[in-house]
Amino acid sequence: MQYGYFDDKNREYVITRPDTPLPWINYLGCQAYFGIVSNTAGGYSFYRDARLRRITRYRYNNVPFDLGGRYIYVRDDETGDYWLPSWQPTHSDLEQYTCRHGMGYSTIGSKRRGISASTRYFVPLDENLEIWQFTLSNERQTPAALSVFSAIEFCLWDAQDDSTNFQRNFSIGEVEIEDGVIYHKTEYRERRDHFAWFACSAELAGFDTQRDVFLGPTRGWDRPAAVERGESFDSVAHGWAPIGSHHVRLVLQPGETRQILFVLGYHENPKDEKFDPPESQIVNKKTVKPVIARYLIPANVDEAFQKLRTYWDGLLDICQVTTPDIHTDRMVNVWNAYQCMATFNMSRSASFYESGIGRGLGFRDSNQDLLGFVHMVPERARERILDLAATQLPSGGAYHQYQPLTKKGNNDVGGNFNDDPHWLIVGVGAYLKETGDWSILDEPVQYDNQPGSEQPLYDHLQRSFRYTLDRLGPHSLPLIGRADWNDCLNLNCFSDTPGQSFQTTTNKEGKVAESVFIGGLFVLAAKELAAIARHSGHADEAAGYLAEGAHMEETVRRHGWDGEWFLRAYDDFGNKVGSKECAEGKIFIEPQGFCILAGIGLEDGLARRALESVRKYLATPHGIVLQQPAYSRYYLHLGEISSYPPGYKENAGIFCHNNPWVIIAEAMAGNGDGAHDYYSRINPSAREAISDVHRCEPYVYAQMIAGRDAPTHGEAKNSWLTGTAAWNYYAIVQFILGIRPAYDGLQIAPAIPERWTGFRAVRRFRGVTYQITVRRAGTGNAVKLMVDGQAVDGDVVRAPADGRTEVVVGVTLE
Ligand code: BGC
Ligand code: NOJ
């Protein structure tokens, strides 16, 4: 069953009924001002940091789930009937409803009793504001007298404090209303230099800023008193809950359409110019007024929208493919790339499942997110890498997370996740291969944000590498620390106290438990670092890295192979985890994918056997589960992984993030059919037809799909913010289609299904546009390369020596 369809040409997903199984959301803004918007206009906005600069209030896990957002009420002033184009929160019967989620905008519209209303929400590029472009049409035979009410609820900035500290917060709310613009200025009188504003292009019949006056003290958003009676109260908030609501009255002739603009923005003033007059407590509006004026003019708004579209077309056009599979095309060309922008911006901080208050940006997460993002805006990837590296500790270890507003490591969570440092090598490698910008390695970067501790970025990579060598366990495998990629495999935690954090509690010294996964990651990092060294004037060091990598590879073979698959770990007692010897959790996905991805076992058959075991024990029609058999009870020595009921999350759920590791492994082993088959099982577009089972958005990946041990097998959860986005993009583009930035040029090494006759691609890479045609001539993956009509040895296309910017590449697969 479907709830909408893809409009591929317009790069939109069109939702045709409001009662989707879960809110189906979109992101507004891609630079500093962000919003989350659901298909029923739920959600909120913030500036840079979802916790510390929350602009509008949102109640998570509400009843119904998605209540509160960017509402516009339409009232028939003759009958008193009122409803919203977004359906929520009145749930009125509609004659028609559509939500179009596009690239950085959403348009939600509906029709009731001959009146059509629709709102396009977007954030213009380079501005800290969002526009609600509201259109109202009278499709009746008679004139219609209508009222329109906007409504948002302001957050008192720190979203955590806002939802807990009521004894203070009920007394601090403040607003100003000037020329019809509502200014939200809570705490501006003291240490804040920022405020929010909410403006409307039409002449106002009234306004409200006190929530419980607008709604009435005992009512909800579905029955606001002001809307019901057809007149605002002109309330001025003092304390309690400041809101912004404009009231506009208009009469539409039959066939007439009118547009009203509502604009919500964030603004900062210089500290010493906060007030106007200077000695007053009145917000200085000198610099914000021109911004407000600009965006209340429809032509400027249209232009800003066009610019946004052009911007996204430009980003997506960097890599476009035409394959025999529509689901591959629309994910690669549009939605997967688009999701990679969201994961780059948000890491795992703000979605409908991440509240924006719990986490900053993850060190490992953000580094991995670069894999799917770096080709779109390399300058921002560069900045992110330097920010991440600056939070690294002198030991080479890393803070697990940092706060985007302060860019400082988060002390509450701390470090000792022993995989973390290596992801910096992976992220920097991806950046260098995409851009060829070797200067980044010489950038002086602090350790732990301490002035005076600056060392070249290359030094950070060396310390990342060293970190593991300084922390080897009894089998010479890497010690796991608090956890590795799997945050829930807590082998040193031994927590028996309710509520203790599995991530930050450590009750063992951690000198025994080892991770085979980090072993694989180390082997990959060693190869990457060696390549970086070779290309950047440190050739003498490359051999050393390779030797350490080879040594670790040997150790993994000796102590990390279980006979039919790679082991997962050794626990604090030195016992195996993820072995045939275990009663539960015999085989895990992570080491199978990652050891092979690092190249282990490709030559000697181990990889083949491990992949056969994955197929036999872990693969389901809905994707590959994390481990089997699921843990049926809590194991003190394993930690959070065994805290989940079987089939969910890390306990044998289909944790989509690591499915692409197996996809890449299959591609590296030359099995294009297997790789694309796994790819399709979790491809959201390919699952659109079972939306009633999948339940999450069919246009983006979710973190998890319930595994076969769960009663809801196939049901997705935690959409949008997941490493799945970057890894699947990387897997399909770079390993199945095989278009892979390399240090020396653009490598083309596809591993496509046998039945595919070929595909086409356009890839802009280091200033050159490559028109690529791949044609299958035999059943294998051997590449024969023609560059501008000339046969070329190998599979790497080098940059044209004569400065041409268009290159035609023909690939024959034999
Ligand atoms: C989740 C993990 C997550 C961790 C840290 C756990 O509860 O299961 O997926 O990485 O929390 O936030
Ligand atoms: C989600 C976390 O953000 C990520 O860092 C971790 O690797 C996975 N969960 C697996 O636990």
489 alpha carbon, closest ligand: 2
Q: How confident is the model at residue 9 (pLDDT cuts 50, 70, 90)?
A: very high
Q: Which residue has the tokens 């964030």?
A: 266
> 418 C-alpha to center of ligand 2: Å?
13
**Residue 592 near residue 562 (C-beta atoms within 8 A):** no
C-alpha–C-alpha distance, residues 435 and 424, integer Å: 16
Residue 786: count of CB within 10 angstroms of its CB: 15
> 422 C-alpha to center of ligand 2: Å?
15
| 686 contact partners, CB below 8 Å, separation of at least 6 | 327, 680
- As a whole number, mean pLDDT of residues 658-680 equals 98
**What residues does 44 pair with on adjacent strands?**
36
Helices 420-435, 363-373: axis angle to 10 degrees equals 20
- As a whole number, mean pLDDT of residues 540-565 equals 98
420 alpha carbon, closest ligand: 2
Q: Which two tokens stand for residue 669?
A: 């082993």
Q: Which residue has the tokens 């979790």?
A: 682
Q: Judge residue 804's burial from the number of C-beta atoms within 10 Å of its C-beta, 0-12 exposed, 13-18 middle, 19 or more buried.
A: exposed
What does the pLDDT look like over 721-767, one tens digit per residue? 999 999 999 999 999 999 999 999 999 999 999 999 999 999 999 99
C-alpha–C-alpha distance, residues 406 and 380, integer Å: 17
What does the pLDDT look like over 353-390, one tens digit per residue? 999 998 788 999 999 999 999 999 999 999 999 999 99
Q: How confident is the model at residue 407 (pLDDT cuts 50, 70, 90)?
A: confident
- As a whole number, mean pLDDT of residues 197-206 equals 98
Mean pLDDT across the chain, nearest whole number?
97
Q: Whose CA is closest to 261, among 297, 310, 208?
A: 297
Residue 583: count of CB within 10 angstroms of its CB: 8
- Which atom of ligand 1 is the closest one to the Cα of 358? 12
C-alpha–C-alpha distance, residues 738 and 368, integer Å: 19
Ligand 1, atom 2: nearest CA belongs to which residue?
487
**Residue 697 near residue 684 (C-beta atoms within 8 A):** yes
Binding site membership of 503 for ligand 1 (Cβ less than 6 Å): yes
Binding site membership of 650 for ligand 1 (Cβ less than 6 Å): yes
> 487 C-alpha to center of ligand 2: Å?
6
Cα angle vertex 144, ends 139, 150, to 5°? 95
Asked if 212 is an active-site residue, the reply is no
> 332 C-alpha to center of ligand 2: Å?
23
641 alpha carbon, closest ligand: 1
Ligand 2, atom 7: nearest CA belongs to which residue?
485
Answer positive or negative: Cα dihedral of 694, 699, 702, 705.
positive
Percent of the chain with pLDDT over 70: 100
**Residue 44 near residue 58 (C-beta atoms within 8 A):** yes
User: What's this model's pTM, rounded to 2 decimal places?
Assistant: 0.98
Q: Which two tokens stand for residue 401?
A: 């997370």
What does the pLDDT look like over 285-296, one tens digit per residue? 999 999 999 999
Q: What is the DSSP letter of 16?
A: -
Answer positive or negative: Cα dihedral of 580, 586, 591, 592.
positive
- As a whole number, mean pLDDT of residues 403-417 equals 86
Predicted local distance difference test score (pLDDT) of residue 411 = 84
C-alpha–C-alpha distance, residues 595 and 523, integer Å: 8
- As a whole number, mean pLDDT of residues 95-107 equals 98
Q: How confident is the model at residue 410 (pLDDT cuts 50, 70, 90)?
A: confident
**Residue 152 near residue 243 (C-beta atoms within 8 A):** yes
**Residue 409 near residue 397 (C-beta atoms within 8 A):** no
Binding site membership of 649 for ligand 1 (Cβ less than 6 Å): yes
C-alpha–C-alpha distance, residues 51 and 175, integer Å: 21
Ligand 2, atom 9: nearest CA belongs to which residue?
487
Catalytic residue among 487, 571, 572, 709: 487
What does the pLDDT look like over 447-478, one tens digit per residue? 999 999 999 999 999 999 999 999 999 999 99
Q: Which residue has the tokens 């490359």?
A: 542
Predicted local distance difference test score (pLDDT) of residue 506 = 81
Q: Is the pLDDT of residue 487 over 80?
A: yes
Predicted local distance difference test score (pLDDT) of residue 492 = 97
SS3 744: coil
> 487 C-alpha to center of ligand 1: Å?
6
Q: How far is CA 312 from CA 30, 102, 104, 317, 685, in A?
A: 10, 10, 8, 8, 20
> 572 C-alpha to center of ligand 1: Å?
21
> 348 C-alpha to center of ligand 1: Å?
10
Q: Is the pLDDT of residue 494 over 80?
A: yes
**What residues does 772 pair with on adjacent strands?**
761, 809
DSSP labels for 504-537?
T---S--SS-EEHHHHHHHHHHHHHHHHHHHHTT
Ligand 2, atom 10: nearest CA belongs to which residue?
486
Binding site membership of 487 for ligand 1 (Cβ less than 6 Å): yes
Residues contacting ligand 2 via CB (< 6 Å) = 348, 362, 364-365, 485-488, 650
**Residue 245 near residue 266 (C-beta atoms within 8 A):** no
Predicted local distance difference test score (pLDDT) of residue 507 = 86
Q: Is the pLDDT of residue 593 over 90?
A: yes
> 250 C-alpha to center of ligand 2: Å?
52
Q: Which two tokens stand for residue 57?
A: 């209030």
Q: How confident is the model at residue 616 (pLDDT cuts 50, 70, 90)?
A: very high
Ligand 1, atom 3: nearest CA belongs to which residue?
487
DSSP labels for 230-279?
TS---B--BSS-EEEEEEEEEEE-TT-EEEEEEEEEEEE--GGG-BSSTT
- As a whole number, mean pLDDT of residues 76-94 equals 97
Q: Which of 423, 488, 501 to mutate to test the pocket of ligand 1 (most atoms within 8 A of CB)?
A: 488
Q: Judge residue 446's burial from the number of C-beta atoms within 10 Å of its C-beta, 0-12 exposed, 13-18 middle, 19 or more buried.
A: middle
Binding site membership of 482 for ligand 1 (Cβ less than 6 Å): no
Q: Which residue has the tokens 């009278």?
A: 138
Q: Give CB contacts under 8 A, 24+ apart, made by 288-295.
A: 288/197, 291/127, 291/129, 291/265, 291/267, 292/181, 292/197, 292/199, 292/263, 292/265, 295/124, 295/127, 295/129, 295/131, 295/199, 295/261, 295/263, 295/265
**What residues does 82 pair with on adjacent strands?**
75
Q: Which of 650, 658, 717, 718 to mutate to test the pocket of ligand 1 (most atoms within 8 A of CB)?
A: 650
Q: Judge residue 84's burial from the number of C-beta atoms within 10 Å of its C-beta, 0-12 exposed, 13-18 middle, 19 or more buried.
A: buried
Q: Is the pLDDT of residue 405 over 90?
A: no
Q: Whose CA is closest to 157, among 263, 57, 14, 255?
A: 57
Q: Is the pLDDT of residue 73 over 90?
A: yes
Binding site membership of 365 for ligand 1 (Cβ less than 6 Å): no
417 alpha carbon, closest ligand: 2
Residue ranges of E strands in 333-377: 361-362
What does the pLDDT look like over 160-192, one tens digit per residue? 999 999 999 999 999 999 999 999 999 999 999
| 733 contact partners, CB below 8 Å, separation of at least 6 | 319, 321, 332, 739
C-alpha–C-alpha distance, residues 604 and 752, integer Å: 23
